[in-house]
Amino acid sequence: MKIKPNSKRGLFNSRSVVEGFGPRFLDEDFCRGFLLDLIHTGNFSCSFCGHGISNKYLNDFYKNNPIYCPGCRKDFRASSGTILNYSKLSCSQIILLSLMLELGCSVESIAERLGIARQSIPRWKRKLDFRKRIKSHSG
Ligand SMILES: [Zn+2]
């Protein structure tokens, strides 16, 4: 049976797509890599002593796996000492939070979309505004 292209069956509108949109639409590995690039700006080094890491550990760096530093002999992760450290939000949640903040969405709508408590939004807004101030002052 041929399906007519002008059939009304199965139609949806852009609003229903937006209403269903959430962090799960975003690829977590890509989001983590994107945020780590923003944070480290190509400087792949130990969070504790600044010892550069070998290219063979870049994959672990982007996966946020523990990396042994031959300089200080400690294990560190790419997230160590950054806003991603001990973050309760996934990287895809942080990306969507940033996007919604920039679009001027309400705290209520952001909390609902991310599935997190409203109280945590202002704290994240301060963290991300802090990063923005740093960037705008240096650039
Ligand atoms: Zn080190």
Q: Which amino acid is at 102?
A: E
Q: Helix or strand or coil: residue 59? A: helix
Q: How far is the CA of 70 from the centre of ligand 1 (A)?
A: 7
Taking the C-alpha atoms of residue 119 and residue 117, their distance in angstroms, rounded to an integer, is 5
Beta carbons within 10 angstroms of residue 76's beta carbon: 20
Q: Report the mean per-residue pLDDT for the chain.
A: 88
Region 95-107 average pLDDT: 96
What are the structure tokens assigned to 4, written together?
């007519």
Q: Helix or strand or coil: residue 39? A: helix
CA dihedral of residues 46, 72, 138, 64 (deg, nearest 10): 20
pTM for the full model?
0.82
Q: How far is the CA of 45 from the centre of ligand 1 (A)?
A: 8
Q: How far is the CA of 111 from the centre of ligand 1 (A)?
A: 37
Spell out the residues 6+ positions from residue 34 whose beta carbon is closer than 8 angstroms to its own: 91, 95
Q: How far is the CA of 13 from the centre of ligand 1 (A)?
A: 52
Looking at residue 1, its pLDDT comes to 62
Q: How far is the CA of 63 from the centre of ligand 1 (A)?
A: 18
Looking at residue 139, its pLDDT comes to 38
pLDDT band at 136 (very low <50, low <70, confident <90, very high): low
Q: Tens digit of pLDDT for each residue in 51-93?
A: 998 889 999 999 999 999 999 999 999 999 888 988 999 999 9
Region 29-37 average pLDDT: 95
Environment of ion ligand 1 (residues, CB < 5 A): 46, 48-49, 51, 69, 71-72
Region 16-30 average pLDDT: 94
Region 127-136 average pLDDT: 66
Question: Domains, the chain, ranges and CATH?
Answer: 28-82 (no CATH), 87-134 (1.10.10)
What are the structure tokens assigned to 37, written together?
């690039």
